Amino acid sequence: MSSAHIGIGGWTYEPWRGLFYPKGLAQARELAYVGEHLTATEINATFYGRQKPASFAKWRDAVPDGFVFALKGSRYCTNRKNLGEAGESVANFLGQGLVELGDRLGPINWQLAATKKFDADEIAAFLALLPAAHEGIALRHAIEARHESFDDPAFYALLRKAGVAVVLADSPKYAMLDATDTAPFVYLRLQDARAELEQGYDNAALDHWASRIGGWSAQGRDVFAFFINGAKERAPAAAQALIGRLADV
């Protein structure tokens, strides 16, 4: 059965206090509050450094069944001259304890440097380093390629062969790689929120994404969508608005 997981980036952000989080809510309760009102979050801390197994376990236990954590892949894997040489770094990333998330583990977003250009042999070598499972836990991988050279049929063909998703980034800064048929799931990063709109996105844009997500779900595909960057203070309201629309689909 397919499902749509809608959320934000992380859960610790001061401007959300009093805007999304109720005034007086203990900071230690913020992740649980996210779990009560949204269905996913993307963890950025894993991009910058290793986390402890106990941290993953704590996060797992703070949220309800059905909630998922997408993880940003380590910069030591993706910010390098040759991605094909990232084998040791990928193993270190997978070995840090993320399996503690269990069925709350969502996809891993391998975000490439914005200056990284498409090289078919290099990408094929990197994809070969991404295992389908780790310590009995199935893994789902997505690549966020931000250079326009990746809008290439050869790139999409490599991902289809590997079952890896293209991150569809609704961003004013980077080209949108709108190829959503390379994996059994879809990964969205919605980054075009506007501060002057209470929900970040206007009704037409929210309706557009609700329609597309509904279509993918009808095809039996899981969808992971995160309101992130942009006017970040509006991200929780945007996520809640999209969740509401999908409930009516």
pLDDT attached to residue 1: 45
The 3-state DSSP class for residue 11 equals coil
Look at residue 69 in the predicted model and tell me its pLDDT.
Answer: 98
Give helix then strand counts, H and E, for the chain.
Answer: 9, 10
Domain boundaries, the chain: 4-248
pLDDT for 79:
96
Smallest CA-to-CA distance from 107 within 133, 74, 139 is with 139
Average pLDDT per run of 10 along the chain, which is 249 residues long? Answer: 88 97 97 98 97 98 98 97 97 97 98 97 98 97 96 97 97 87 97 96 97 95 95 97 89
pLDDT of residue 249: 62
Q: What's the pLDDT at 176?
A: 82
What are the Cα distances from residue 214, in Å, to 1, 51, 140, 179, 249? Answer: 13, 34, 21, 17, 7
Instruction: Say if CB 83 and CB 125 are below 8 A apart.
Output: yes
Q: Is 156 left (phi over 0), alpha (psi -120 to 50) or beta?
A: alpha
Task: Return all residues near 247 (Cβ < 8 A) that are at least 6 apart.
Answer: none
CATH architecture of 4-248: Alpha-Beta Barrel (3.20)
Compute the distance between CA of residue 233 and CA of residue 76 in angstroms, rounded to an integer: 29
